[in-house]
Chain A
Amino acid sequence: MSLQYLKEAVANNETDKLIRYVRLHLGDGNETAGREEIDKAWIEALTPLLDVPTTDRAFIFKTLAEQDTATLAHLFFHLHFYFVQRSGKWIHDGQL
């Protein structure tokens, strides 16, 4: 989808078009695969927290406070791919 297509979808609040694009991006052109990839990432994010380990919350708050929204959004996409790759069920060839 072109950037113009996505911007028009934002302007018109056409969220179905936006989430479809995200799924296509994460699923390499396959919307169903993209949906499954999102699920995988959340499972990978949930699992390490089940034993309630100590985490670096100061780092989290510092990052959220000091970084701009675009950088955080970019990080969000990075984390998705990181966790999916970490799952070992990597549907992609290649490396990040």
Chain B
Amino acid sequence: MTVNSNDTAQLRPGLWGTINERYPGVMITKDDFIPLAHLKRPLSEARLTFISSAGVQPKGTMPFDVVHPVGDYSFRRVPSGAKVDDLEIHQIKYPTNGASRDLNVIFPIERLQELKAESVIGALTPNFFSFIGYQMDPATFESTLAEDMASAVVADGADAALLCPA
């Protein structure tokens, strides 16, 4: 965020249209064919995980590194049963004032807990997963953070993942 955000204005319109000009080489183009994974059971019987680039983390864990010029390639486990008051955001690259008032606008943990309680979702994985979306090395991002987090998601027994960019 270059300007402290408010709730109504579109900040930095046209941002994405100029990103390759401002950050040459940072946009990732993938030519690999990655087949879609089909859900093997109804959502009401599936175990869902949530993956977010919002920089949400349990209080007391090492803050995401928002100052490093090349980025942070780590992720945090966020217990799916956590209370919002036990979580915080460490990120300065997107407007967080709305999320600071209600974390669910960027990290809808309470909505997912409710959907689980209402049996719309069969179960939640023990952990959700969060990282920050500022990495200057796409190859390292893919080979470390993405691979490590994917392994953690599998270990948590997820049938489906809800992905949410910040």
- Given the known interface contacts A74-B68, A91-B4, A94-B89, the answer about A2 and B26 at a Cβ–Cβ threshold of 8 Å is yes
Separation in Å of the B11 CB from the closest CB of chain A?
Answer: 10
Q: Could you tell me which residues of chain B, from 83 to 97, have a CB within 8 Å of some CB in chain A?
A: 88-97
Separation in Å of the A22 CB from the closest CB of chain B?
Answer: 7
The B contact surface, by secondary structure, is loop
Total residues of chain A contacting the partner, CB 8 A: 27
**Contact residue among A6, A24, A77, A92 (Cβ-Cβ distance under 8 Å from B22):** A24
A40 at the A/B interface (Cβ < 8 Å)? Answer: no
Instruction: Contact check, A29 vs B96: say whether CB atoms are below 8 A apart.
Output: no
**Nearest neighbor of B66 in chain A, beta-carbon distance:** A96
Instruction: Contact check, B68 vs A77: say whether CB atoms are below 8 A apart.
Output: yes
18 more A-B residue pairs beyond the given contacts A93-B5, A94-B90, with a C-beta to C-beta distance below 8 A = A1-B24, A2-B25, A21-B69, A24-B22, A28-B92, A80-B67, A92-B92, A93-B1, A94-B55, A94-B89, A94-B91, A94-B93, A95-B63, A95-B89, A95-B90, A95-B92, A96-B66, A96-B90
Separation in Å of the B59 CB from the closest CB of chain A?
Answer: 12
How far is B89's CA from A30's CA once the two chains are assembled, in angstroms?
Answer: 23
**Nearest neighbor of B134 in chain A, beta-carbon distance:** A25
**Contact residue among A30, A91, A93 (Cβ-Cβ distance under 8 Å from B94):** A93
| B interface, size bucket | 20 to 34
Residue from A74, A94, A96 with most neighbouring chain B CB atoms (10 Å):
A94
Separation in Å of the B165 CB from the closest CB of chain A?
Answer: 16
